[in-house]
Amino acid sequence: MTREKLSQRRSHHSCPARSRSNTTWSTPRLVSHQLIERHRSFGVNVLKSGQERLSELAAGHAGDRGNWLEGVPYRKAETGAPILSDCLAWFDCSLEAIHEGGDHTIFVGRVEAAGHSEGRPLLYFEGEYHRPAEPRPRHNR
């Protein structure tokens, strides 16, 4: 999930990496696109298992302003990009290149800083959330 700082507000916008449109740009994706180009940076946040509600908010499933994530705790990274306080992992990126990809835009970032915490990743596959399997026990040989 990426979040970008709005220049004239104290709130942040979010658009999950899994979110895409096959035919037209929706307002949240258009805003994210414009903010990444304007600020030349972005943050990537990897959600933990159990953060399905946050993922749904970021995807805009809570209405027009659901993906603004107002009230969600964050801190500013080196580039100024917001990093979620309780994410599994994060990447603070400066914008390196922009490529057109049909009806998509591909943003390439240089990782300026990164970090992680304890937990298991939130997985989204074929329209559903999943939990990773428990690790197999290691056998000493």
> What's the pLDDT at 27?
55
* pLDDT top residue among 118 and 69: 118
* Amino acid letter, residue 102: G
Residue 136 placed within a domain: no
Go through 98-120 and write b for each residue having 16 or more CB atoms within 10 A of its CB, e for each that does not: eeeeeeeeebebeeeeeeeeebe
- Count structural domains, the chain: 1
What token pair was written down for 54? Answer: 């946050």
Least confident of 24-28, 48-52, 56-60, 73-77: 24-28
Statement: residue 115 has pLDDT above 90: yes
Question: Tokens 């057109």 identify what position?
Answer: 100
Cα–Cα distance, 126 to 141 (Å, whole number):
38
Specify whether the CB–CB gap between 30 and 43 falls below 8 A: no
Residue 139 placed within a domain: no
Q: How large is the average pLDDT for residues 63-72? A: 70
CATH number of domain containing 108:
2.30.110.10
> What's the pLDDT at 24?
42
Q: How large is the average pLDDT for residues 65-82? A: 82
Question: Tokens 């509600």 identify what position?
Answer: 53
Q: Which domain holds residue 126?
A: 2-130
Taking only the tens place, the pLDDT of each residue in 81-111 is 889 999 999 999 999 999 988 888 899 999 9
